[in-house]
Structure 1
Amino acid sequence: MIRTLYIDELNELRTCDSPYDMEGTAKWLWVDLSEPTAHENLLLSQYFHFHPLSIEDAVSVRQRPKYKEYDDYLFFVFHAIDLKTMLPEEIDVFINSSMVVTYHKEHSEEVDKVWNSVICKRANEKLTTAEVMYRTLDAIVDNYFPFVYELEDKVFSFEDQHSVDISTEELIEETFDLREDLLIIRRTVLPMKDLVYRLLEGRIMELSKKQKIFLHHINDHLVKQAEMIDSSREMTADIRDNYISLNSFKMNNIMKILTIYSVIFMPLTLIAGIYGMNFDVMPELHWKYGYLAVWLLMIGISLGMIYYFKKKKWF
């Protein structure tokens, strides 16, 4: 789907479907290609005459957040997050001083939000293509927060599972799933943070004081999100390590108790084995108090070893 927003020679804000349908010359132009068809993709080359490499980046290949500078325009790649699928969605922006083209293969709520806000602007308000790009970028970054907050809440919820009957295997599996989600958002936030930083430092395009303030606001959000993600990753690593250590501690205690029982019964087994042999000449077998003496000896050995182990604080 193609939709076009432009300011005509009389400074009136108008809308139409395709830029071919504009009346007169546009002083300012925004074309949005949402879920475009192969035929609609031709607009990029046949109407705007964009460089083939930038068209290829937008149409064919999923790119990481980045920018490229061409002769008469800049090309940006932004990544939004789909909260339903938790997967990144690419939004490409072609921009110069009088034209901005947004291109996205999936429907974008962020672009819709900015589009509606531009339509609602008063006629005497000055509108720039840079403002469209920054507002789109701001909407994209703001929509990271629900995902980041949700993952942070999941991390904190692990604290409540100490009192819940949950196996270590199940908890480790949940932890790795959570770390996978954190990795997805981290792969999106960090490159976006780097891109905004380079914008803010003026390495890409000239910025006014108002635009720098706006970008500082976006950068602050990205810094906060990056810190929350790193903190959550560290917490999940600590939770995983703690539960593995706890499981090892429990296993060591079990092995220690079993070992102590085995050591206690080893001399008793030896005594039982000796007197269970079928030799004819065994004087103790015909002794009147032999059975009682063997029982007292085994009980004495057991109690003595238990006393010794307790004194050593082995259990």
Structure 2
Amino acid sequence: MIKTMAVYKDGTIAFDVSIEELNSERIDWVWVDFENPKTEEIDLLRTKFHFDEIAIKHCVSYKERPKMDYYEGYRFIVLQSLNENMEQTEIDLFLSHKYIVSFCWETTSVLQIVWNKIKGLKSIKGLKPEQILYHICDEIADKFFPIVQKIEDDIEDIDELGTNSDLSMIDGIKTQVSKLSKVRKTVKPTKDLIYRILNSTHVEIDKETTKKLRIVYDHLLKLLDDISDNREMANDIRESYISTNSHKMNKTMKMLTSVSIVFMPLTFIVGVYGMNFIHIPELQLKYGYYYCWAIMLIIVIGLVMWFKKKDWF
């Protein structure tokens, strides 16, 4: 599907303009949105707009890393957005002072929101393609924040259940860290891309739009800091959990070791006097059985008291 918007030189705006009418001299600039396009619609990128074949190839190939390439007369920009299900959506833009062409293989709320925002403007005075670029970047950045906030809330919920010795806690932490890594892989190149746009001599942007893009850039920097903080918090929780379980395991092992040590001398005594020799002097003692029990009890009591003193019991 193709949607069109045309801004005329007299300051008016029109939507759903035919492709043929886009070349009218009365038009100042246009926004053409390719949403889940068909093959014949994709061909318009070649026949109507005469974009470079390499740019078209990168446009239709899924997925490209956020970037900006320079071509004669226009710039090819690749952006990535995330939805609440952590699914990436690629948005490709062809930008010049006469048009902005957006291309997306699926329906995305980012472009829809920006489209409706432009439709709802009371005044389009000073509206340029670069401002459409800003609105798209701003909307993409806004989509990141609830995702990171949701991950942070999940990590805090896991932290509150940190006393449980359940391995599902470790799995939960691993899942959240994996999500943070995925968000970071999208946010960081987007931040780098906006930095390139702000500092490029090949992209002409007015001061007001530059100021707004810098705010988006600052938001992405803050978002990266939040992601790093959350990753650190998740790692701290995991290390604390492992440390707590190791401590519990050590206490258990100390207890088992203590019990084994207590029974070692008893096993030795029983083993010695359980041998099948005929002449074992102690076996002839009248009270040898009671002596043996007394010695074993003294050994047990002595070892238990010693281990209690060492805080092993």
TM-score (norm 2): 0.94
Query: Quick one: distance in 2 between partners of 1:24 and 1:9?
Result: 11
Contact residue 73 and residue 95 of structure 1 kept, 8 A = yes
Contact residue 13 and residue 123 of structure 1 kept, 8 A = no
Once the two structures are overlaid, the 10-residue window that deviates more, 270-279 or 96-105, is 270-279
Identical residues among aligned pairs (%): 36
Q: How many Å apart are 1:172 and its aligned residue?
A: 1.4
Query: Quick one: distance in 2 between partners of 1:123 and 1:203?
Result: 29
For 1:163-312, list aligned pairs within 5 A. Answer: 163=163, 165-167=164-166, 169-202=167-200, 204-312=202-310
Equivalent position SS for 1:279: coil
Amino acid at match of 2:129: T
Q: How many Å apart are 1:120 and its aligned residue?
A: 2.2
Contact residue 34 and residue 107 of structure 1 kept, 8 A = yes
Equivalent position SS for 2:31: strand
For 1:36-75, list aligned pairs within 5 A. Answer: 36-75=37-76
Q: How many Å apart are 1:134 and its aligned residue?
A: 0.5
Equivalent position SS for 1:162: coil
With over 3 angstroms needed to count, the CA separation of the structure-2 counterparts of 1:295 and 1:49, relative to structure 1, is same
Residue 140 of structure 2: aligned partner: 140
Once the two structures are overlaid, the 10-residue window that deviates more, 250-259 or 65-74, is 250-259
1:179-232 CA-to-partner distances (Å, cap 9, x unmatched) read 111111110000011111222334552333212210121012101111111111
With over 3 angstroms needed to count, the CA separation of the structure-2 counterparts of 1:126 and 1:203, relative to structure 1, is closer
Once the two structures are overlaid, the 10-residue window that deviates more, 250-259 or 11-20, is 11-20
For 1:81-92, list aligned pairs within 5 A. Answer: 81-84=82-85, 86-92=86-92
Contact residue 66 and residue 191 of structure 1 kept, 8 A = yes
Are 1:102 and 2:99 matched, yes or no? no
Query: Quick one: distance in 2 between partners of 1:121 and 1:27?
Result: 17
Contact residue 3 and residue 18 of structure 1 kept, 8 A = no
Query: Quick one: distance in 2 between partners of 1:23 and 1:52?
Result: 22
Q: Which runs of 5+ in 2 are unaligned?
A: none
Equivalent position SS for 1:107: coil
Contact residue 5 and residue 16 of structure 2 kept, 8 A = yes
With over 3 angstroms needed to count, the CA separation of the structure-2 counterparts of 1:53 and 1:143, relative to structure 1, is same
Q: How many Å apart are 1:58 and its aligned residue?
A: 0.7
Q: Which runs of 5+ in 1 are unaligned?
A: none
Equivalent position SS for 1:103: strand
Contact residue 8 and residue 24 of structure 1 kept, 8 A = no
Amino acid at match of 1:126: G
Once the two structures are overlaid, the 10-residue window that deviates more, 244-253 or 287-296, is 244-253
Once the two structures are overlaid, the 10-residue window that deviates more, 222-231 or 300-309, is 300-309
Q: How well do the aligned residues superpose, as a CA RMSD in angstroms?
A: 1.8
Equivalent position SS for 1:211: helix
